């Protein structure tokens, strides 16, 4: 077993989470139990890694295994009856890409299997859980409202860290989860991390809450009240908190997502969506070929926004350049592990800084792995775009799925400059694939009224919790 970071609460939290999830399964509808178990675990479990035998026990692994074990205990037939199909191929190929990288670079079968297992834990398990349990209108709405409530719950924690600096993870678990210096903001103040890996990840989490809350409101699915408070007020508080966290990139992506959702729905034209999903590929191609060095963009940032931000952006571009050059010297499957994809000086010192997930993947897993990464993230959304007409994006059947699909688009853009792997986003991928295969858009016709009727026909009524209501259930004391 590897050394335990922080204090005794780290192993206690990890060991107790399966008990928490099993308790949720006993008391709630299983989809609600999974949504709460996954979201709450991601929001509050420690950012730590405990290696036990062959398992790399990160927060994601603890959450997913807790859910899968509980599902096996309470609903084994459904879990085992699931079968993958051709729509799952991009995710399967992405999860297995480290196998080829390790074998080509002579790292042996053990390393190949170990790296494949790690990749599958981070990406494949959340996707699989969503494929099985978040496959219909009701379940996807449950997931969306759980995320919205989760973002609301984070408001006071973010407020604390905005004033007192990111200390909650240290105060609870005994250590900072990432470099504290990176939380300092230009002009004073801090960027909250709460219990997530980095402040950038927390910012995107709050952005996701605003996006889902706004589109649920627009499509008429947001509960009127949550904990006796009008949901619109909670949404406004969430918007305010997200803005004062001062993550300009995340807020910009939020505005882009909301604009694309609204304009595409009203105009019934997907040109903006096409541009959104083409941007990552265009960026990767122009940067990999050296056609674009990013200096005009960093110059614009310096002129219009901040010299410090401009220098930081250009620093990323410069490091990308040398990392791309090193990556292209490797094989089609990349350099594999053990730091071979990094750049060293003549004295053997590592002189490279990796930020973007795309350039990390290009170096480690090569062109093959990078292609599979882009497809694994974008394919579920593209499948949704192919099957669901834009005019239905604000309907009760497809509204939540539309917001999730567009979020996957901005998440891939975020991965161009950052490497914030959030397993919740892979729930979106699995749920979109299942939704598109399980619900026939032809049933919902061309108008919202027909779409609502389809929901009534296709959705199984399940009891709501005090916090996450059933789609067709009457208002509760806590959510109306």
The domain segmentation of the chain, as residue ranges, is 9-285+357-458
Task: Output the pLDDT for position 228.
Answer: 87
Check whether 468 has a pLDDT greater than 80: no
What's the distance, CA 88 to chain centroid? 18
Task: Output the pLDDT for position 293.
Answer: 87
Check whether 39 has a pLDDT greater than 50: yes
Lowest mean pLDDT among 138-142, 155-159, 368-372, 443-447: 443-447
pLDDT averaged over every residue in the chain: 89
Do residues 360 and 85 touch, judged by C-beta distance below 8 A?
Answer: no
Average pLDDT over residues 32-46: 97
Provide the angle, in degrees to the nearest 10, between the axes of the packed helices 423-438 and 59-81. Answer: 20
Task: Output the pLDDT for position 53.
Answer: 57
Q: SS3 for 28?
A: coil
What digits encode the pLDDT tens for the residues 83-136?
Answer: 999 999 999 999 999 999 999 999 999 999 999 999 999 999 999 999 999 988
Task: Output the pLDDT for position 394.
Answer: 93
**More confidently predicted of 290 and 377:** 377
Do residues 188 and 253 touch, judged by C-beta distance below 8 A?
Answer: no
What digits encode the pLDDT tens for the residues 232-279?
Answer: 999 999 999 999 998 989 999 999 999 999 999 999 999 999 999 999
What digits encode the pLDDT tens for the residues 144-193?
Answer: 999 999 999 999 999 999 999 999 999 999 999 888 887 887 777 899 99
Task: Output the pLDDT for position 294.
Answer: 86
Task: Output the pLDDT for position 335.
Answer: 97
Helix (H) or strand (E) holding 229: strand 229-230
- Following DSSP, what letter does each residue of 383-441 receive, concatenated? HHHHHS-GGGTTSTTTHHHHHHHHHHHHHHHHHHH-----HHHHHHHHHHHHHHHHS-G
Check whether 214 has a pLDDT greater than 90: yes
Closest CA to 133 of 175, 204, 72, 59: 72
Task: Output the pLDDT for position 426.
Answer: 97
pLDDT band at 360 (very low <50, low <70, confident <90, very high): very high
Task: Output the pLDDT for position 73.
Answer: 96
Share of the chain above pLDDT 90, in %: 72
The pTM assigned to this predicted structure is 0.90
pLDDT band at 199 (very low <50, low <70, confident <90, very high): very high
Task: Output the pLDDT for position 347.
Answer: 86
Share of the chain above pLDDT 70, in %: 90
Task: Output the pLDDT for position 55.
Answer: 62
DSSP letter at 442?
G
Do residues 162 and 244 touch, judged by C-beta distance below 8 A?
Answer: yes
DSSP letter at 137?
H
Task: Output the pLDDT for position 429.
Answer: 97
CA-based Rg of the chain, rounded to a whole angstrom?
22
Check whether 466 has a pLDDT greater than 90: no
Check whether 447 has a pLDDT greater than 90: no
Task: Output the pLDDT for position 474.
Answer: 44
pLDDT band at 323 (very low <50, low <70, confident <90, very high): very high
Task: Output the pLDDT for position 303.
Answer: 83
Task: Output the pLDDT for position 464.
Answer: 52
Task: Output the pLDDT for position 453.
Answer: 41
Check whether 137 has a pLDDT greater than 90: no
Terminal alpha carbon distance of the chain: 48
Sign of dihedral through CA atoms 458, 395, 270, 424? negative
Q: SS3 for 31?
A: helix
Check whether 378 has a pLDDT greater than 90: yes
Rounded CA-CA distance 207/203 in Å is: 6
Rounded CA-CA distance 338/335 in Å is: 9
What digits encode the pLDDT tens for the residues 396-443?
Answer: 889 999 999 999 999 999 999 899 999 999 999 999 999 888 755 444
């Amino acid at each position: 077993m590897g050394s335990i970071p922080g204090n005794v609460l780290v192993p206690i939290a990890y060991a107790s989470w399966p008990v928490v999830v099993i308790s949720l399964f006993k008391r709630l509808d299983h989809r609600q139990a999974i949504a709460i178990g996954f979201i709450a675990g991601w929001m509050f479990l420690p950012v730590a890694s405990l290696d036990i035998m062959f398992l790399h026990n990160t927060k994601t692994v603890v959450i997913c295994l807790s859910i899968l074990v509980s599902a096996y205990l309470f609903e084994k037939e459904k879990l085992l009856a699931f079968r993958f199909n051709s729509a799952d191929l991009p995710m399967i190929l992405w999860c297995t890409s480290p196998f080829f990288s390790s074998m080509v670079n002579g790292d042996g079968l053990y390393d190949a299997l170990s790296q494949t297992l790690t990749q599958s834990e981070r990406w494949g398990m959340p996707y699989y859980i969503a494929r099985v349990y978040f496959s219909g209108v009701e379940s996807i709405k449950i997931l969306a409202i759980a995320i919205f409530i989760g973002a609301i719950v984070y408001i006071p924690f973010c407020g604390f860290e905005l004033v007192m600096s990111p200390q909650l993870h240290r105060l609870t678990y005994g250590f900072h989860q990432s470099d504290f210096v990176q939380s300092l903001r230009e002009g004073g103040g801090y960027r909250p991390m709460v219990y997530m890996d980095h402040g950038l990840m927390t910012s995107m989490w709050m952005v996701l809450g605003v996006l889902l809350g706004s589109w649920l409101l627009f499509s008429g699915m947001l509960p009127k009240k949550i904990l006796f408070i009008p949901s619109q007020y909670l949404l406004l508080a969430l918007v305010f908190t997200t803005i004062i966290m001062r993550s300009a990139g995340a807020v910009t992506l939020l505005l882009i997502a909301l604009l694309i959702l609204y304009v595409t729905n009203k105009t019934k034209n997907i040109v903006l969506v096409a541009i959104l999903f083409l941007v990552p590929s265009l960026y990767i191609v122009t940067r990999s070929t050296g056609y674009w060095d990013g200096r005009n963009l960093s110059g614009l940032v310096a002129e219009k926004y901040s010299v410090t931000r401009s220098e930081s952006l250009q620093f990323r571009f410069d490091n990308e350049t040398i990392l791309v050059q090193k990556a292209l010297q490797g094989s089609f499957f990349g350099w594999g592990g053990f730091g071979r994809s990094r750049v060293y000086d003549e004295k053997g010192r590592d002189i490279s800084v990796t930020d973007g997930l795309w350039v990390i993947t290009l170096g480690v897993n090569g062109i093959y792995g990078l292609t599979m990464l882009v497809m694994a993230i974008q394919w579920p959304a593209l499948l949704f775009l192919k099957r669901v007409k834009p005019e239905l994006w604000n309907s009760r059947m497809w509204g939540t799925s539309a917001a999730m699909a567009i979020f996957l688009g901005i998440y891939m853009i975020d991965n161009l400059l950052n490497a914030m792997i959030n397993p919740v986003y892979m729930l979106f991928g699995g749920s979109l694939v299942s939704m598109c295969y399980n619900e026939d858009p032809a049933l919902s016709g061309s108008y919202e009224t027909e779409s609502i009727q389809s929901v009534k026909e296709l959705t199984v009524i399940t009891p709501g919790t005090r916090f996450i209501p059933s789609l067709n259930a009457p208002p509760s004391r806590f959510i109306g």
